[in-house]
Structure formats: C-alpha cells, structure tokens
Amino acid sequence: MNTTAAVDVRGLRKSYDGTTAVGGIDLEIAHGEVFALLGPNGAGKTTTVEILEGYRKRDSGEVHVLGIDPGDADLRWRARIGIVLQNTGGHDDLSVEEVIRHFALYYPDARDPDEVIAAVGLDGKRDTRVRQLSGGQRRRLDVALGILGRPELLFLDEPTTGFDPEARREFWTLISALSDGGTTILLTTHYLDEAERLADRVGVIAAGDIVALDSPARLGGRERDLATVRWLHDGNPQERTTAEPTRLVTELAAEFDGEIPGLAIDRPTLEDTYLRLIGENT
C-alpha cells in the first residue's frame, strides 16, 4: 500500500446478497489531485465512495484514506475529511452565519467562520435564512460546511445537480480555488463537461470494475481518435476523417490561399468516449 497517497485502494470488493457491486478495484489518488469517478447508476460508484468515507464496510481488499483504514477510523480522522452529499437539508430557520458558526463547534481546529463565508461567496447572504437561499447558494453553504474543518480530502457527490449554467460555472471556480489551495478532491458527477473542466484524472467504473483511468484528454485513447475536418467548397459542405488534421488544414489553407470557409475540426468528446467505454463493459 502507498500510504503517502491521499487514497490507496487494492483489491476492493463488496457484494450484496450474492450480487457483486464492486469487483476488485485498484485505485490511487495523489495528494492535491482532483479525481472524478464516473459511472452509470448501479455501477458501484456510490458503494466505492461510501467505503472510502468510512460509511460502508467492505468484504475484502485494502483501503487507506489519508493513511488510515476508514473501517477503523476515529473522530480525529473524520475531522480530516469533508463530505458534501448530493441531497442535504435542514436548518431552514437559521441564517447562513448561524449554521456555519454552529458546525464550527464540532471541529478541533475549525476555520474562522467569517473566512469560510467569504471563501464560498456568501458574504452578502450571511444574515439570510437558509430557506431563502437559491439552489446555488444552498450548495455553496454545503461546501462551506464541508471545508469548515480544514479537510485534507473533500468528497463531492453530484455537486451541481439542478444548477443553472451560471451557478455551475461559479461553483467550478470555487472548487478550482480549493484545489489550488492544496485540498484533494474526489468528485462524482454525471456531467461530463464538469469532469473535463475540474478533474486532473478521471476513472470510469462499470459493472463494479474501473475500466478506464487517465486524464480527461487521454481517457480511453481519446487523444488518438480520428478527427473530422469540415469546410465549404464553392458553398458545398465537405468532410474528411483523418489522423492528421493539422496536415489537412495546412493543405486546405494553401488551396484557399488563406482562410478556409466554414472550417470546423471535431474530435470525439469526453461524453462520446465515456459512452463507448460503458457500452463496451456492460
């Protein structure tokens, strides 16, 4: 086991009533890394994350999170992690500041509540009741509670579900800032653009196994996929698939003596690659 990694998993297995949910996963996440775990419902993603969080027991395998087996972890270890669940609620009658100051009492070395409120962009809402917050503002409050104890590792479960595009991008900026500050982040999401924007590496889980693991740009050999070049010739659409799009564009530029009408170059998106991997492994 590599106990210098933030997360180190070897041979993780978990079954329910004879049905395999996780079938022998190996996974390593470095300190300071943003790692996105992707997979369809029922693939074993939630089970894996809950084992890492210490909320579910495994059948076999070795797991170290921040150097500790989460199955044997104590409150000191729990103070080192932060968890932002997909669905949270409660505290509707309290203000933002009251909620954060209350939860700060649970940690031995909590961040200053005023600092946290500012960090998540809720300075102007500190006296607002939770029930009056928008969805994006509630999610910022969830993150505030997740980072309040100065976590070394932050778990984010579907953090922007239900967000409008503007709120999602604001949230991405916040997560990037946490990563830049050295926080390790494990993210689960169904939004492939979110994984591409935030993650240093992506793991795809299907049928209880990790079937691909790489950077978003290289996942599943994506960087080697053929590109489709499209342009207009005398107003008529033209298209060619090639492994050397730069060479083709150079030739077209010479042919047109400058700008190429209607030029577009497309490679398979991360979503295309993800769907292919899931299809091949389910």
pLDDT tens digits along 190-247: 899 999 999 999 999 999 999 999 999 899 888 888 889 999 999 999 999 998 899 9
Q: What is the pLDDT of residue 146?
A: 87
Residue 105's pLDDT band, with cuts at 50, 70 and 90, is very high
Is the pLDDT confidence value at 180 over 80? yes
pTM: 0.83
Neighbouring residues of 219: CB distance < 8 A, sequence distance ≥ 6: 202, 204, 212, 213, 270, 273, 274, 277
Is the pLDDT confidence value at 84 over 90? no
Domains and CATH numbers, the chain: 29-54+76-217 (3.40.50.300), 221-280 (no CATH)
**Nearest C-alpha neighbor of 143 from the set 173, 166, 169, 175:** 175
Q: What is the pLDDT of residue 248?
A: 93
Is the pLDDT confidence value at 3 over 70? no
Q: Is 172 exposed, middle or buried (0-12, 13-18, 19+ CB in 10 A)?
A: middle
Residue 136's pLDDT band, with cuts at 50, 70 and 90, is confident
Residue 172's pLDDT band, with cuts at 50, 70 and 90, is confident
Q: What is the pLDDT of residue 16?
A: 93
Q: What is the pLDDT of residue 138?
A: 86
Strands 81-84 and 19-29 come out as unpaired
Residue 63's pLDDT band, with cuts at 50, 70 and 90, is very high
Q: What is the pLDDT of residue 202?
A: 96
Residue 51's pLDDT band, with cuts at 50, 70 and 90, is very high
Angle, CA of 88, 93 and 94, to the nearest 5°: 85
Q: What is the average pLDDT across 160-187? A: 85
Is the pLDDT confidence value at 2 over 70? no
Residue 147's pLDDT band, with cuts at 50, 70 and 90, is confident
**Nearest C-alpha neighbor of 11 from the set 219, 188, 209:** 209
Residue 71 — left, alpha, or beta (φ > 0 → left; ψ -120 to 50 → alpha)?
A: alpha
